[in-house]
Amino acid sequence: MSGDVVAAAEHGLAPRPADDDIPDSSAVSKAGNKSEDNKGVTATPSADLLIRLNDDPALGFCVYAARPYRRGERLFEERTALEATHDAHKEGVRNVYERYCQQSVERRRALHGSFPHLAWANGVDAQEAADARTLVGSLLTATSKGLKIDNRLTAADHMRMRPDWGRPAEETTGHVSGIVSSPKPAIRAKAALYGLFKKPLPPQDVLSAEDEAEKKARAETLEWFSRYAFRLKPEASFNKPGGNYQAAVYLLTDLINHRCSGFQNCRVSADVGTIAVLALRDIAAGEEVTINYSKDVKDFQCKGECCVKK
Ligand SMILES: [Zn+2]
């Protein structure tokens, strides 16, 4: 039954510049990465999965198998991190931002830990967001309770994956906190406004600054969701107008990179409230875990070995 949903689970990827830092690509497209990855895995034989930033930061976060998996084996299963109704073209029907704001503080922290873009969109300090990366895996279900994840993302890695990244590395490796000018978190802005209303009306420019901050947070949160969400209906297509689609993001599954059809080593199986990642073939320790996002998203530029020729 879930097989039908499998075919449907698909990444909606918004049009982006070719040089954008999208975590959608390959660790093995660069010579030399493989051996280093294996070395890293060997150092922690007790882990099942390893998360780290690729040596080329433009290639993004990657998930590696830290031990061998057999064909058909379930690598892990996790609960939905955030589900929302999405329409790529209609204003006013997309509740992504509202759903994000309704989440508990802990859930939002977990989302920030997994998605630097979302943290940045909502004005969360880079260090604070990076600290929450330990929560990645916190929504794993009982079936994968014993899963051990070796999370090697540093605060600097987290910083590199934010859309505002662009400063020289030496400025960020030592102290990543507080160097980014970002909009004030809309949630905090709302609380501030509530307090303000008990007093005489503030100057108009204060109010409009809060409005602008929320407007930007809303737009960037939607942009983030469009890029990372898996759609949950087979007939739905993210990049075609004319419908509302239920879509969801996942803390761990969303860190897995794309390979074109035939090159991926895993598939996803989505069900109500959960998603599982299963091995399509035997996977060796040290190998990058990959899935197929979509076949028909034209704006998506695959950087995997399936598309990038050496
Ligand atoms: Zn490809």
State the distance from the centre of ligand 1 to the C-alpha of 296, rounded, in angstroms: 12
State the distance from the centre of ligand 1 to the C-alpha of 302, rounded, in angstroms: 5
* Token pair belonging to 132: 């929450």
pLDDT higher than threshold 50 for residue 175: no
State the distance from the centre of ligand 1 to the C-alpha of 265, rounded, in angstroms: 13
In DSSP terms, 191 is beta-bridged to none
% of the chain residues with pLDDT over 90: 30
In DSSP terms, 64 is beta-bridged to 50, 288
State the distance from the centre of ligand 1 to the C-alpha of 11, rounded, in angstroms: 14
Q: What is the mean pLDDT of residues 289-298?
A: 73
**Residue recorded with tokens 């406004």:** 193
Task: For residue 58, give the nearest of 101, 14, 17, 99 by alpha carbon.
Answer: 17
Evaluate whether the domain defined by 2-165+181-291 bears CATH number 3.30.479.30: no
Domain ranges across the chain = 2-165+181-291
At 244, is the pLDDT very low, low, confident or very high (cuts 50, 70, 90)? low
* Token pair belonging to 20: 């954008």
* CA distance readout (Å), 116 to 2, 139, 164, 246, 261: 30, 18, 10, 23, 28
State the distance from the centre of ligand 1 to the C-alpha of 198, rounded, in angstroms: 56
At 243, is the pLDDT very low, low, confident or very high (cuts 50, 70, 90)? low
pLDDT by residue (tens digit) across 35-63? 444 444 444 568 999 999 887 766 789 99
State the distance from the centre of ligand 1 to the C-alpha of 35, rounded, in angstroms: 22
Mark the residues whose beta carbon lies below 5 A from ion ligand 1.
260, 302, 304, 306-307
Q: Are 258 and 272 in contact (CB under 8 A)?
A: no
Q: Could you give the angle at the alpha carbon of 24 between the alpha carbons of 22 and 25, nearest 5°?
A: 115
Q: What is the mean pLDDT of residues 153-181?
A: 60
Q: Look at the pTM and tell me if it is higher than 0.85.
A: no
Q: What is the mean pLDDT of residues 269-284?
A: 92
Q: Which three-class secondary structure string do you get for the chain?
A: CHHHHHHHCCECCCCCCCCCCCCCCCCCCCCCHHHHHHHHHHCCCCCCEEEEECCCHHHCEEEEECCCECCCCEEEEEECCEEEEECCCCCCCCCHHHHHHHCCHHHHHHHHHHCHHHHHHCCCCHHHHHHHHHHCCCCECHHHCCCCEEECCCHHHHHHCCCCCCCCCHHHHCCCCCCCCCCCCHHHHHHHHHHHHCCCCCCHHHHHHHHHHHHHHHHHHHHHHHHHCEECCCCCCCCCCCCCEEEEECCCHHHCEECCCCCCCEEEEEECCEEEEEECCCECCCCECEECCCCCCCCCCCCCCCCCCC
Looking at per-residue pLDDT, the higher value among 60 and 66 belongs to: 66
d(CA 196, CA 190): 10
